[in-house]
Amino acid sequence: MARVSVEIKDHIAHVTLTRGDKMNALDDAMVKAILAAGAEVAASDARVVVLAGEGKSFCAGLDLASFMQMGKTDPEAWLMQRSHHDANEMQEVAMIWRRLEIPVIAALQGATYGGGLQLALGADIRIAAPDTKLAVMEMKWGLIPDMGGMALLPKLVRTDVLRQLTYTASPIGAEQALAWGMVTSVSEDSLADARALAAEIANKGPNAIRAAKRMIDFAESGAAQSEVLLRESSEQVALIGKPEQMEVIAAQMQKRAPVFR
């Protein structure tokens, strides 16, 4: 059965986990479908992604039955192989969205646990419904988060928050997640707000949006200030050199003509 749907309309890629009867839990087929969806979006003309889960939950984490089957293989061969850039297959579930050149907005609701939380962390922006519960769940099973969480979560929360979440595996509500920086906003209708934000972004200059995501990723990588400043300049030179970008600037200046006079 299909695990993920992809619909691209008006330059917005709507990527939806479609295993709602199982709280969109991650089995092997879901993992592969998520990776395929990411590749499909990367090859499309989409300018922004809305990542969502059908039903009452965004994604409740790993499907335990499927995980037990995967765990019967050699753990070192399964997990240590760098099959996707610098990641293994499970880590790429989150990292493929961070690698996309375009912004990704995750609409969250209900259980967003373990691998589901790490999938959400791969997005640029997370909008949570009031009933969203988030948890770094792996410690419940005597494991550590290993689907990109340790690469992504430390960029969002303080170290004491990261440690509490990881050590306890306790779920937190949407408002607490907002206070701790794990989600961008809380909305009564997270999917509708995610789609509205996506439409706003899709109407911006696509070259500039892609350059901005590259620039932010580089600035957050720990590069030296001199390297960040130089990268700013090189990205801007590349944009200014594009004829279509100069047309955008000229059009905006015309709209604001009274300001410049």
Please name which of 160, 90, 144 lies closest in space to residue 122, comparing C-alpha atoms: 90
Above 50 in pLDDT, residue 128? yes
Rounded mean pLDDT of 119-140?
96
Q: Looking at the structure, do residues 34 and 68 belong to the same domain, yes or no?
A: yes
pLDDT in tens, 167-207: 999 999 999 999 999 999 999 999 999 999 999 999 999 99
Q: Looking at the structure, do residues 110 and 155 belong to the same domain, yes or no?
A: yes
Domain end point (choices 183, 202, 221): 202
Q: Which domain holds residue 163?
A: 4-202
Rounded mean pLDDT of 36-58?
97
- The DSSP bridge partners found for residue 208 are none
Residue 25: pLDDT band with limits 50, 70, 90: very high
Residue 261: pLDDT band with limits 50, 70, 90: very low
Above 80 in pLDDT, residue 66? no
The pLDDT of residue 141: 83
**CA angle at residue 64 from 191 to 7, to 5 degrees?**
30
Please name which of 13, 21, 15 lies closest in space to residue 1, comparing C-alpha atoms: 21
CATH number, domain containing residue 117: 3.90.226.10
Residue 32: pLDDT band with limits 50, 70, 90: very high
pLDDT in tens, 216-254: 999 998 899 999 999 999 999 999 987 666 666 666 556
- The encoded tokens of residue 158 equal 């303080």
Q: Looking at the structure, do residues 57 and 131 belong to the same domain, yes or no?
A: yes
